[in-house]
Amino acid sequence: MTTAKPILTADQAALLIRDGVTVAIGGSGAGHSVPERMLEAIGRRHRATGGPRELTLIHPFGVGDQGARGLEHMAMPGLYHRVIGGHWSMSPSMAKLAAENLFEAYCLPAGILVQLFHAAASGSPGWISEIGLDTFIDPRVEGGKLNARAEEDIVELWNRDGKEYLYYRAHPIDVALIRAAVADEEGNLSMHEEVAPWHNCAMAQAALAAGGITIAQVKRIVPARSLDPRLVHVPGIFVDCLIVHPDQGMTYNIGYDPALSGEARKPESEFAPFPFSVRKTIARRAAMELRPGAIINVGFGVPDGVMKVAREQGFAESVVPTIEQGQIGGIPAEGLEFGAAYNSTAIIGTLRQFAWYQGRGVDIAFLGFAEVDAAGNVNVSKLDSAIIGTGGFIDIAQKARKVVFCGTLAVRGGKPKFVPAVRQITFSGAHAISTGQEVLYVTEAAVFRLTAQGLQLEEVAPGLDLEGDVIAKMAFRPVVGSSFGRMRAELFAQPLLPPDCFPAFQ
């Protein structure tokens, strides 16, 4: 005998959320498995009735398109008591409310928040990790607090056998809001037409462990037990009710592309060429750090050009790119579609991907930067008064064996990005030195290396004057040895780079 799950409208499901409860949202970014109809319905209810109120909201990744969707539907004073977000910039209005002290605002690494769902599901009080040490997450720095309302310490320093760790407290989940492609009548959920399975199962298990509920948005419902059990990512025993959105796309902008879910492959001829630009110059120099067999992570923005260079130069199959959303191999999508990947060789859950990242599984991470200081610290999480957040940056950067930061020497208009002290420490140079991590900073004008003495100049672009064209555009003087090299002139020209730029692949 089968037991069908209730099928509700989004507005009916929103009425199940009581004042003061803890709500967790799955998915990532611009509609990647984001339960959009539920977010809309919660916002409608609050605007019409003032309820629910005083929620604690948890979301490991950014949720929105930097426009009107995602958490923008729910960016209202009075709706929240506390928000713990891994990334904030995808919903500018939420970041603005946090900056205005309208609720307690915290930021924790996305991988840690995912692990905390697992901890809550298993009844563990929290998660112990080295991730976050010496960054703004460390309670000796900022403790992940983003505003004056955030007074409670939710991260603690922990010592064991002479080593330092951070202890992160788990949060019981009262309501888990997740999305899947397909549900059967018993609530078994398949993510096989989504870009990744995410951490949906851990969220639903955490809600069940706390006596809470899981609401799943799906595109369609099929007969009970008709799904291939190997494609069920969240068993129906963890799901309480369903809402159906037949027009649900894979992302906000993509209805369905089987090359993103692994059901087909997109031919190389359909990818746009990588146009020559400053961004390409930086990506080319960064790509020179690749080695055959390297397992890498590429971040959002300039770093995703590294794999474009590898493909253009013909050795992409010799390295293994990954992104934190769970994709291994393939070609990371760009812009707001970042978080998906074309032609992946494997797509695993974020829980397993982050466990591997946190266990030093990445050989080389290519990441962006907003600010770099004389000690090699990097800030990507706060600009002026704008709250950005960290996403998976800290999980990846702190544990990769080698990190190559990619970006321009200065912002448009000439404002330095290399500053005496960063506004927020998202990557700690001192911690990297203490662990023996190799760190480079690649720009279009110069290349720097992290040393125990600070940021050291290694290369200068051909034709540039060290003092007038490089150091004059920095707000501090790097360590300059008795000699430094020149960046390859071919990096700044249109044709393909000569093979000797990549001797390891010959």
Residues 49 and 127: their CA atoms lie apart, in Å, by 37
Instruction: Supply φ then ψ for residue 117, to 5 degrees.
Output: -60, -45
pLDDT for 414 equals: 84
Instruction: Supply φ then ψ for residue 166, to 5 degrees.
Output: -115, 140
Instruction: Supply φ then ψ for residue 133, to 5 degrees.
Output: -55, 135
Q: Which two tokens stand for residue 97?
A: 């409310």
Cα→Cα distances 167→88, 116, 203, 245, 258, Å? 23, 11, 20, 39, 40
* Opening angle at CA 236, ends 113 and 114, nearest 5: 5
pLDDT for 95 equals: 96
Tokens 């205005």 label which residue? 100
Strand residue runs (E) in 300-395: 320-322, 327-328, 331-332, 341-342, 346-347, 364-368, 371-373, 378-379, 382-383, 386-387
Residues 103 and 137: their CA atoms lie apart, in Å, by 19
pLDDT for 455 equals: 97
- Contact between 276 and 494 (Cβ < 8 Å): yes
Residues contacting residue 287 through CB under 8 Å, at least 6 positions apart? 306, 309, 310, 313, 502
Catalytic residue among 324, 337, 458, 459: 324
pLDDT along the chain (506 residues), means of 10: 89 98 95 97 98 98 96 98 97 96 98 98 97 98 98 97 97 98 98 96 98 98 97 98 97 96 94 95 98 95 93 96 96 92 96 95 97 98 90 97 97 91 98 98 98 96 96 96 91 94 92
Say if residue 11 is exposed, middle or buried (CB neighbours under 10 Å; 0-12, 13-18, 19+).
middle
pLDDT for 481 equals: 82
Residues, the chain, total? Answer: 506
Q: 379: which strand partners?
A: 371
Strand residue runs (E) in 108-174: 126-129, 155-160, 163-169
Residue ranges and CATH numbers for the domains of the chain are 10-244 (3.40.1080.10), 268-505 (3.40.1080.10)
pLDDT for 1 equals: 54
Tokens 């982050």 label which residue? 354
| Residue 164: active-site member | no
pLDDT for 2 equals: 65
The two counts, helices (H) then strands (E), for the chain are 11, 29
pLDDT for 185 equals: 98
Residues 334 and 355: their CA atoms lie apart, in Å, by 25
In this structure, the number of other CB atoms found within 10 A of the CB of residue 44 comes to 15
